[in-house]
Amino acid sequence: MSDNLWKVLEVKESILKNNDQEAAVLKEKLKKQKTMLINLMSSPGSGKTTTLCQTISRLKDSYAIGVMEADIDSDVDAETVSKAGARAIQLHTGGMCHLDACMTEQGLDGFNSADLDLVVLENVGNLVCPAEFDTGAQKNVMILSVPEGCDKPLKYPLIFEVCDAVIINKIDVMSYFDFDIEKCSQWIHELNPKAEIFPVSAKTGEGFESWCTWLSKETDAWISREN
C-alpha cells in the first residue's frame, strides 16, 4: 500500500517536470517568432470573453491578434472573438480542467501563430488547476469579477501568486455587492507584490485604457527584444 502511494507521487512530480520542460521549449519557440502569449485564467462567468472582445477592439489595428478558446465543449466563444476581429481557434479539452504546454502548442500550431503578434489563451474556467501548469506563456493574467467576492485571494492563493496582472471586472455593479476593492488589492499584493491590478468594466469599457496600455507595452517589449 505504501509503495503504491509513493509511485503515485512520483508520477505526479514527473508530469509537472515534463510539462515545465515542454513549456521552456515553447517559450523559446515563441521568442524566435516574436509572438507574445498571454495565459488568461478565471472562474466561469467572470467575463473573460467579453473582456477579450473589449481588448481586441482597442488593439486589433496595432497587432495581429489570435485567441485560443479552451472549453470542455462548444465553439461559442471562438465565434464571438472572431467577430470582434481576432483570429480564433476552439480547443476542446475533453473534460480536462486545464491546459498544459503540450496542448497549448497544439493550439498554436493549429492556426499558425508565426504571423501573429499577440496570442491570448483563454484557459478553462477554473481557479485551481490552470494555475498549476505552465502553458509556455510569457505572462499570466487572471480575471476576478466583483460578484465572486473580494476574498478570493485568501481562498485561492496560487493563481494570484503566479499572475503578472489581475483584472477586477464588473466594477459597474460594485455598489450591489459587498466587495472591498482596497482590501482585495491588499491581499493580492501580500501574495504577489509585483502584480498589476486593473479595475475594469467589460460591459461599459471603463478602465480598459490602463489595461490595454500595459498589455501593449508588454507586447512591444517582447516583439522588439533580441533573441
Predicted confidence (pLDDT) per residue in 65-100, tens digit: 999 887 655 567 778 888 888 988 888 766 667 788
- Mean pLDDT (whole number) for 176-200: 97
Q: Which of 50-54, 96-100, 196-200, 214-218 has the lowest mean pLDDT?
A: 96-100
> What is the model's pLDDT at position 6?
38
Instruction: Give the Å distances, CA to CA, from 108 to 33, 114, 146.
Output: 12, 9, 32
pLDDT 10s digits, 23-66: 999 999 999 999 999 999 999 999 999 999 999 999 999 999 99
> What is the model's pLDDT at position 75?
64
User: Which of the listed ranges 7-16, 112-121, 194-203, 218-227 does the model predict with the highest average pLDDT?
Assistant: 194-203
Give CA–CA dist 119/222, Å, rounded: 12
- Mean pLDDT (whole number) for 220-227: 82
Give CA–CA dist 6/10, Å, rounded: 6
Give CA–CA dist 193/191, Å, rounded: 7
> What is the model's pLDDT at position 2?
44
Give CA–CA dist 65/201, Å, rounded: 21
pLDDT band at residue 15 using 50, 70 and 90 as cut-offs: low
